[in-house]
Amino acid sequence: MSVHPIEFRYYSEEMRSLFTEEAKLRNWLEVEAALALAHAELGRIPRPAAAEIAEKATTAHVKLDRVKEIENEIHHDLMAMVKALTEVCGADSGKFIHLGATSYDIEDTALALQLSRAMGIIEDDLLSVRDTLAGLAERTKRLVCVGRTHGQHAVPTTYGLKFAIHACEFQRHVERLRQARSRVRAGKMTGAVGTQASFGARAGELQRLVMARLGIDSAPVSNQVIQRDRHAEAVFVLALAAASGEKMAREIRNLQRTEIGEISEPFSAKQVGSSTMPQKRNPHKSERICSLARIVRALVAPALENIPLEHERDLTNSAAERVIFPESFILTDYLLRQLKDVLAGLVFFEDRIAENLRMTGGLIMCEQVMIKMVERGMGRQDAHEILRVAAQEAFAGRAPLKRVLENNPRVMAVITGAELDMALDPSNYIGTAAEQVENALAALRGR
Q: What is the pLDDT of residues 56-102, one digit of tens each?
A: 999 999 999 999 999 999 999 999 999 999 999 989 999 999 999 99
Q: CB under 8 Å to 325, separation ≥6 — which residues?
A: 19, 111, 114, 115, 118, 231, 235
Amino acid identity of 385? E
44 DSSP 8-state letter: S
Q: What is the pLDDT of residues 156-213, one digit of tens each?
A: 999 999 999 999 999 999 999 999 999 999 999 999 999 999 999 999 999 999 999 9
Across residues 434-440, what is the average pLDDT? 97
pLDDT above 90: residue 348: yes
Separation between Cα atoms, residue 333 and residue 328, nearest integer Å: 8
Average pLDDT across the chain, whole number: 95
pLDDT above 90: residue 273: no
Separation between Cα atoms, residue 237 and residue 181, nearest integer Å: 10
To 10 degrees, the CA torsion angle through 271, 274, 279, 280? -90
Instruction: Please state, as a whole number, how many other Cβ atoms lie within 10 Å of the Cβ of residue 170.
Output: 25
pLDDT above 90: residue 308: yes
Model pLDDT, residue 392: 95
Q: CB under 8 Å to 352, separation ≥6 — which residues?
A: 260, 261, 262
pLDDT above 80: residue 447: no
Separation between Cα atoms, residue 280 and residue 256, nearest integer Å: 12
Model pLDDT, residue 371: 94
pLDDT above 80: residue 428: yes
Architecture category of domain 363-423 in CATH: Orthogonal Bundle (1.10)
Q: Does domain 103-186+220-264+281-360+431-447 have CATH number 1.10.3720.10?
A: no
Closest to 109 (Cα-Cα) out of 213, 236, 239: 213
- Lowest mean pLDDT segment, chosen from 5-9, 219-223, 433-437: 5-9
Closest to 92 (Cα-Cα) out of 60, 47, 31: 47
- Lowest mean pLDDT segment, chosen from 7-11, 190-194, 277-281: 277-281
Whether the Cβ atoms of residue 106 and residue 98 lie closer than 8 Å to each other = yes
Model pLDDT, residue 268: 81
DSSP string across 283-345: -HHHHHHHHHHHHHHHTHHHHHHTS--STT--SHHHHHHHHHHHHHHHHHHHHHHHHHHHHHT
pLDDT band at 294 (very low <50, low <70, confident <90, very high): very high
pLDDT above 90: residue 245: yes
Percent of the chain at pLDDT exceeding 70? 100
Q: What is the pLDDT of residues 21-62, one digit of tens each?
A: 999 999 999 999 999 999 999 999 999 999 999 999 999 999
pTM reported for the whole predicted model = 0.94
Model pLDDT, residue 374: 95
- Start-end ranges of CATH 1.20.200.10 in the chain? 103-186+220-264+281-360+431-447
Q: Which residues carry out catalysis?
A: 150, 274
Q: What residues form DSSP beta bridges with 263? A: 348
Decide which of 5 and 159 is more confident. Answer: 159
Separation between Cα atoms, residue 284 and residue 124, nearest integer Å: 24
Separation between Cα atoms, residue 225 and residue 191, nearest integer Å: 9
To 10 degrees, the CA torsion angle through 256, 259, 262, 265? 20
Helices H, strands E: what count in the chain?
Answer: 21, 6
